[in-house]
Structure 1
Amino acid sequence: MTTALSTTDPRPAQAGAGLPDWGRAAAEARAAVPDEAVDAYWRALNYLSAAQLYLADNPRLARPLRHEDLKAAPRGHWGVCPPVNYLLAHLGPLTAHRPDDSELLVLHGAGHAGPSALAHAYLNQNLPQAGSDAWTLADLRALVASFPDAQRFGSEITPLIPGIRHTGGQLGPALAIAQGMALDAPHRLVVPLIGDGELETGATAAAWLARRALAGSGEHGAVLPVVLANGLRMGGPSLLVGLTGEEIGAYFTGLGYLPLVADGSDLPDFRRLLGEAFTMLRPLGEAGPQPVVVLTMPKGHTGPEHVAGRQIAGTPAVHKTPLASPLEDDAEFAALADWLASYRPAELLTAQGRPADLVRQALPGPALKPPVAQPAVRLGTGPQRSRADVSAVLRARAEHPGFRLFSPDEIASNRLRLDLDGSTPDWAVEILNEEICHAWLQGYTETGRDALLATYEAFAPVNTSLLVQHLKHRNLRYAAGHANLPSVNYLITSLGWRNTYTHQNPGLASAMLELEDPSVHVYTPADATRAAAVLAAMLASRDRVNFLITDKHGGVSFPPGPFRDELSRGAAIWSHLSFGPGRPDLVLASAGDIPARQLADAASALRRTRAATTIRYLHINDLTVLGPAGTWPAALTRQAFTELFGDNCPVLLAVPTFPGAVRALLAARGEAERFHVVGYRDPGRPASNDRLLEHADLSAPALSARATRLIEENRR
């Protein structure tokens, strides 16, 4: 049963000018592929999803089920697979008949649909199991028997499975990531599959409105959200299931969408509904109602309804394995045999393990066009560019295609001048939501383009969990052989050292360093011109997660001479602030612009008061060079570390972050004892900028006094 819910009926023949004719493609797919083929494809996906949970052998039920065919302990998730499979089966013909030079991407928000994704990859010949290029019975047996293969694919949605572009366990941002993928890509249609539990997350709730922030920001592709309103979260009813049909309509129409609701019971009707949705598609950011498909198919649909008087359908039991112990429980064994046989697998899979001809009619056909990475745009990164500022670097990068700046309503506040007339260009988008900015950046970079998120230092930690999950996703992509992605780039400014008490939290850098992920770099340049060169290097890099910490207020510019080494080695000695002959009595080291200003003043004071002392001054441009080489690729070698920091003298290190994360880097190298790290310390109440520096022992007088004590203590 299908229903279009709307207060009006704004259904143009083709809403999205500039988009491929997706409506026509859907009509051609319906004409070319019979309903019976789509149904067979859906049954095949459902059968293989269930078989992976339970079967160790007899993968196509060529003979009646036996106890020895079963796994000792069924594991995995069943409930979300049937509605996901229903959409995949319907999208297969459309993908095969998509318009020329177009691309259709499916984004799995439901991370537990791992069996579905594996079944889909197998049927589409993207998952060779036995080393062959064609389907074989051995391949089919391996697919079923090896699940969950923790070493190869795991049991959930990850990029280890061919064709997956989003790690579904990253709960919430699928809709916004889909929007990021569609930006600046008019040829692309992205279909995010969103669980109704996900609708309860802040990221999804904000993403519905977020598309309005993209108005006038360029020519984009389309996003067709599909809500899998199956009624259950993992442990109980979802909030969406408590809404009436009228309330669901009011909810989505109020957000600017036209909801098309179906329960999936009438397959031909659902195909027509999808065709209607494709006809109504508009480019992302274009005004007017966008279609959203709401599939109310029950969780675990087509699975067992009840066993031995115990209700299964409509309960949390369908989330994982609805039948927990079929080997020990005769009633469950009988129910499992009936359940698997209900899909008539012998009709769907040949004796050779191939999908039957009817199933193959609905398959997507040739693989989707892979995302084409934009050629890297190289901006000069050496001292010759040291007169540029951050804004100039961004403007230069934006002269080339494939670049976006995302910011949570802080472009002007962060003193970024993106257009010489002071306006905001269409390649920069603001929305007051850190998570949406990150999700847009993630979708944009995952499809081969460069992006930057610019934000306040204090609010950036909101994205800590998203970044952790994104790093896991990228590591799995690399493990699957999909490297050479644009880097994830954050510009962290409006620093707490110059902000109100509520706007003081340098915690994101600490959290990222604690991950010990080798792709992470935390850049702490000493001045604005150095920050510009670092940003240019970040935007030209690949497969990194870069954080640039820089004060938006600018200030003192230091001599550019050492910067080449700062950029290439991550740290360099500043001769103009070093003095005295021979081995140093004390090493002064700064990281970040505000610490560099304070420690430079302290060094100048020491030159006046401790002229007989040997002081070595150096600046650290990348905090990760302080860590051990086994963890951090950019780490200083033992020789380079000694050349910079000496081997037995005290080191006073001033950083813009929490000092604990930097101490941990040094401790992992075995160098914690002689390093005295000072950084941000919460004052406990509002304080002036000068008072905050004093409280953290990071003012020039406090640093000078601390240095004097260290010199005297070292001579005893």
Structure 2
Amino acid sequence: MARTVVTSRIDSPAPPGPPPSGFPNWGHAADQAAEAVPDRAVDACWRALNHLSAAQLYLTDNPRLARPLRTTDVKEAPRGHWGVCPPVNYLLAHLGPLTAWRPTGSELLVLHGAGHAGPSALAHAYLNGTLHLTGQAPGWSMPELRALISGFPHPERFGGEITPLIPGVRHTGGQLGPALAVAQGMVLDASYRLVVPLIGDGELETGATAAAWLARRALAGSGDHGAVLPVVLANGLKMGGPSLLAGMTACEVRSYFTGLGYEPLMHDGADLPGFRRLLSDAFTRLRPLGEPGRHPVIVLTMPKGHTGPKKVAGRRIAGTPAVHKTPLKDPRRNDAEFAALAAWLASYRPAELFTTQGRPTDLVRQALPGPSPQPETAGTPVPPAAHGPQTWPLTSTVIRERAANGAFRLFSPDEIASNRLELSTDGSPPPWAVEILNEEICHGWLQGYTETGRDALLATYEAFAPVNTSLLVQHLKHRSLSYASGQGGLPSVNYLITSLGWRNTYTHQNPGLVSSMLETEDGFVHVYTPADAMRAAATLAAMLAGRDRVNFLITDKRPGPSFPPDPFRDELTHGAAVWPHLGHHGRPDLILASAGDVPARELSAACTLLRKSHPETKIRYLHVNDLAVLGPPSRWPYALSERAFAHLFRTDTPVLMAVPTHPGTVRALLAARGETGRFHVVGYRDPGRPTTPESLLERCGLSADVLSAQAVLMLKERTR
């Protein structure tokens, strides 16, 4: 994109009318910040962030350049990413004063879409005084500063990319797409909150980002929300070459965002006072998410790797993919690169930015944000357990009762009615339930909502849920790191998976999401497979009341048989329990185990057939309510202990197990326990062509007749 795009927006229409009562006056806060913090302080903060970002990639010592750079100050093997840091740092430097001067009781959060900006986030945390590497907290020191640059990429502590191990990070960057949707989820029902997602122009090419621009329209009239100010880092390059946005003229970029319903504010960063005016203009135009009208979006056209070396020994660097990682590959040994590195770092004048004690100078500190207050949020009381008739509406009752307590959202890709969820008396969607035909956006909203301390649920078809596999795997990593850094206690991520393939068309048969989740062997994952509607509703209530889990509830939306409730307490507490009404006392000849409502329906019927045809056979029947408990305790913290597993499944008895998922996933869980021979697991197998629900059960070995025949075969094999 051309570097001539610099606008002050004097040609823009007048800002919209006053924001709703109770919505923070962000424009006034921006004006106050501009008056209180001089331009040279913002520039100094930007230079400090740039210097620390580059120093982390290259230096082992001499962080202030207090003496001439030596080759021994340079790392043997520079690592990390430089290109995205300068525009990210530019925004962080400008947002610092606005954070410090934000309206009373409000909150301003920055969300990193680009995972490669790890050096920026670490540098920002150091300047804010929240990063502690040597244990000599609090505050800044020269040992801390040396540890910051010499230890990068801190493989055992923080890593070199954006993760929640870095103080202030609330979203693990690098997911390629969901940052805008996550930001939208963060401000739902939080009118005091402003979130600024930093979105790379490469991310604009993802489906999740493309849909998120339009998705805000689905939130119209859905409550009192905060604001999102998207910032597009239009640096012209992806990792391997030009971005698609780079091929658009400034007029085309304006038309693109205008057509989506936004007011684009474009700047190239060359005029710092001009950008501060533009940012103040954007803050004045902020509106609550979901409110009609044009919302501002900032497009920063600063080149990737700006302020870094342009050319070394005849080799062009600026404007090429070389700026993405380390522009200078081996400055410790290459004289030309060493000279370029010395000049590059010296250009930031670090002695003006840091004292001999490693503290940011007073000039830099003027532009730093103050401490962020923790706003009050609605509590999340435990919803009451479901009760009443054993039908699907029980699940709807649990959702409605939880929503009545506040701080709750349901997201669904246009499938609330199809999934037979009754959320209001007149059939219309309530304000706390939002539909949009995009699985990734629903997940982004869910993730942002829960990451800011509120409960949420995503209800979707079983066949379409796998679209979010990559996002969920990435979020599991984020949750794991958050928990490891002492940031646990967040509401669980909850998926309600229904419209199961057992009753659906061939194209709507795919239980692959939970298979992928179990294959991660992540202890946060729970895959709930209740046997009937009462159990599903009670399990959902427990999911919504829980913390620090990633839950998947698999349940049929159509009414099925109900089973005695007595064993359910153990099913919910331990993940599995014996059903006495279907079995015999004493040592069994055969164990039947179901997981899920459709398998429970068929296997319990098979048990009845077997008891009639083989009355002398002693049977133990049990139901598994959480597939994750089948894994080995060494990998799954909530798994059945070896003793409990042996008590349920014994150690010498054949087991016929029926599951609603791919059977191989469950076999893998059992194999990790050493159970490779006596379990016969049946579940979904692709039939290869369209078929009826009855025929699908037959083909998968899950009909009552086939299960009964398989049980007889297993009994015969045992007596041989």
TM-score by length of 1: 0.98
Contact 1:41 1:359 in 2 (8 A): yes
**Which of 644, 653, 656 in structure 2 is aligned with 1:652?**
656
Letter of the aligned partner of 1:351 in structure 2? T
The match for 1:34 is 38
In 1, Cα distance between equivalents of 2:19 and 2:541: 40
CA–CA separation in structure 2 for the residues paired with 1:194 and 1:148? 23
Of stretches 62-71 and 281-290 in structure 1, the one that deviates more from structure 2 is 62-71
- Hey, what's the Cα distance between the residues in 2 that align with 1:68 and 1:682? 61
Specify the SS of the correspondent of 1:538.
Answer: helix
Contact 1:25–1:97 (Cα < 8 Å) also in 2:
yes
2:428 aligned residue: 423
Paired residues of 1:383 and 1:563 also in contact (CA < 8 A) = no
- State the distance in 2 between where 1:685 and 1:590 align: 26
CA contact (8 A) 2:387 2:394 kept: no
CA deviation vs aligned residue, 1:641-666 (integer Å, no higher than 9, x gap): 22222221211100010000000111
Q: Which amino acid aligns with 1:669?
A: R
Q: 2:68 aligns with which of 58, 64, 83?
A: 64
Alpha-carbon distance in 2 for matches of 1:349, 1:97: 24
1:494-514 Cα offsets, whole Å, 9 max, x none, are 000000000000011111111
**In the alignment, is the contact (CA less than 8 A) between 2:386 and 2:397 conserved in 1?**
no
SS in 2 for 1:2: coil
* Alpha-carbon distance in structure 1 between the residues aligned to 2:138 and 2:25: 34
- Contact preservation (8 Å) 1:75, 1:320: yes
Partner of 1:196: 201
Q: Work out which of the residue numbers 451, 454, 461 in structure 2 matches 1:449.
A: 454
Check the 8 A contact 1:444/1:451 in 2, yes or no.
yes
Q: Which residue of 2 aligns with 1:551?
A: 556
Q: Helix, strand or coil: the match of 2:668?
A: helix
Alignment partners' CA distance in 2, 1:88 and 1:492: 39
Question: CA 1:123 to 1:500, structure 2 compared with 1: closer, same or farther past 3 Å?
Answer: same
1:634 positional shift: 2.2
> Match of 1:708, as an amino acid?
V
**Alignment counterpart, residue 412 of structure 1, candidates 412, 417, 421:** 417
CA distance in 1, matches of 2:444, 2:643: 41
TM-score, with normalisation over the residues of structure 2? 0.97
Say if 1:180 and 1:440, in contact at 8 Å, map to a contact too.
yes
Q: Which of 656, 661, 677 is equivalent to 2:665? A: 661
CA distance in 2 between partners of 1:417 and 1:373 (Å):
27
> More displaced, 491-500 or 669-678?
669-678
Q: Which residue does 1:287 correspond to in 2?
A: 292
Superposed displacement of residue 16, structure 1: 5.5
What residue is the counterpart of 1:22 in the other structure?
26
Asked whether the equivalents of residues 49 and 78 of structure 1 are also in contact (C-alpha less than 8 Å), the reply is: yes
Structure 1 position 674, deviation (Å): 0.4
Native 8 Å contact 1:383 1:560 kept in 2: no
8 Å contact kept, 2:114–2:200: yes
| Offset at residue 385 of structure 1 (A) | 9.9
1:151 and 2:156 correspond: yes
Distance in 1 between residues matched to 2:647 and 2:386, nearest whole Å: 23
Q: Which residue of 1 aligns with 2:600?
A: 596
* Greater displacement, 286-295 / 628-637: 628-637
Kindly state the Cα deviation for residue 373 of structure 1 after the two structures are TM-superposed. Answer: 6.1
Aligned to 2:372: 368
Tell me the residue number matched to 1:116: 120
- How far apart are the structure 1 equivalents of 2:386 and 2:651? 30
The answer on whether the counterparts of 2:386 and 2:537 sit within 8 Å (CA) in structure 1 is no
1:622 aligns with 626
Deviations 1:80-102 (A, max 9, x none): 11100110111011111100000
Q: How does 1:269-418 map to 2 (within 5 A)?
A: 269-365=274-370, 367-370=371-374, 374-381=378-385, 389-418=394-423
> C-alpha distance in 2, partners of 1:386/1:140?
63
Return closer, same or farther for 1:7/1:610 CA change in 2, 3 Å cut-off.
farther
Aligned mates of 1:353, 1:642 — CA distance in 2: 60
Tell me what 1:87 maps to. Answer: 91
CA distance in 1, matches of 2:142, 2:11: 53
**Is the 1:14–1:23 Cα contact (8 Å) retained in structure 2?**
no
Once the two structures are superposed, the pairs formed by residues 35-50 of structure 1 within 5 Å of their partners are: 35-50=39-54
RMSD: 1.6
Partner of 2:186: 181
- Distance in 1 (CA, whole Å) between partners of 2:67 and 2:283 is 43
Residue identity in the other structure for 1:76: G
How many Å separate the matches in 2 of 1:597 and 1:490?
23
Q: In the TM superposition, what whole-angstrom CA distance separates every residue of 1:302-345 from its partner, at most 9, and x where no partner exists?
A: 11111111111111111111111111111111111111111111
- Deviation, 1:420, is 2.0
Once the two structures are TM-superposed, the CA of residue 7 in structure 1 deviates from its matched residue by 10
In 1: Cα distance, 2:274 partner to 2:534 partner? 61
What amino acid is aligned across from residue 553 of structure 1 in structure 2?
R
* Corresponding letter in the other structure for 1:710: M
The separation in 2 between residues aligned to 1:475 and 1:622, in whole angstroms, is 20
Q: What's the CA shift for 1:423?
A: 1.5
Q: Contact conserved, 2:588 with 2:619, CA < 8 A, in 1?
A: yes
One-letter amino acid of the counterpart of residue 96, structure 1:
A
How many Å apart are 1:582 and its aligned residue?
3.2
Deviation at 1:17, TM superposition (A): 5.1
Q: What amino acid does structure 1 have at the position aligned with 2:429?
A: T
Q: Judge conservation of contact 2:106–2:375 (CA < 8 Å) in 1.
A: no
Give the total of aligned pairs: 714
> 1:702 is aligned with what amino acid?
V
Question: Is the 2:385–2:398 Cα contact (8 Å) retained in structure 1?
Answer: no
Corresponding residue SS for 1:669? coil
**Equivalent residue for 1:567, pick from 568, 572, 586:** 572
For residues 44-90 of structure 1, give each alpha carbon's deviation from its aligned partner in whole angstroms, at most 9, with x where no partner exists: 11111111111111110011111111111111111111100110111
2:708 equivalent in structure 1: 704
Q: Which residue of 2 aligns with 1:519?
A: 524
Specify whether residues 266 and 541 from structure 1 end up closer, same or farther in structure 2 by C-alpha distance, changes over 3 A only: same
User: Hey, what's the Cα distance between the residues in 1 that align with 2:375 and 2:612?
Assistant: 60
Residue 283 of structure 2 aligns to which amino acid in structure 1?
F
CA 1:7–1:707: 2 relative to 1, 3 Å: farther
**Counterpart code for 1:335:** A
Q: Distance in 1 between matches of 2:99 and 2:660?
A: 51
Residues 13/334 of structure 1: CA separation in 2 closer, same or farther (3 Å cut): farther
| Distance in 1 between residues matched to 2:635 and 2:334, nearest whole Å | 50
Give me the whole-angstrom Cα distance separating, in 2, the residues matched to 1:384 and 1:684.
Answer: 41
Pairwise CA distance, 1:3? 2.3
**What is the rounded CA distance, in whole Å, between the counterparts of 1:632 and 1:73 in structure 2?**
38
> What is the rounded CA distance, in whole Å, between the counterparts of 1:78 and 1:285 in structure 2?
36
CA contact (8 A) 2:8 2:275 kept: no
Question: How has the CA–CA distance of structure 1 residues 648 and 301 changed in structure 2, closer, same or farther, with 3 Å as cutoff?
Answer: same
Q: 1:14 to 1:341 in 2, by over 3 A?
A: farther
Contact 2:96 2:369 in 1 (8 A): yes
Kindly tell me: are residues 438 and 7 of structure 1, through their superposed partners in 2, closer, same or farther at Cα, counting changes over 3 Å?
A: farther
1:466 aligns with 2:474: no
Q: Name whichever of 5-14 and 118-127 sits farther off.
A: 5-14
Q: Cα gap change, 1:577/1:5 in structure 2, threshold over 3 Å: closer, same or farther?
A: farther
Superposition pairs for residues 193-232 of structure 1, below 5 Å? 193-232=198-237
> Identity percentage over the alignment?
71
For 1:14 and 1:334, how far apart are their aligned partners in 2?
Answer: 54
Instruction: Using the TM superposition, give the Cα deviation of residue 707 of structure 1 relative to its aligned residue in structure 2, in angstroms.
Output: 0.8
Unaligned runs of 5+ in 2: none
Q: Counterparts of 1:654 and 1:475 in 2: how far apart (Å)?
A: 31
The 3-state SS of whatever aligns with 1:422 is coil
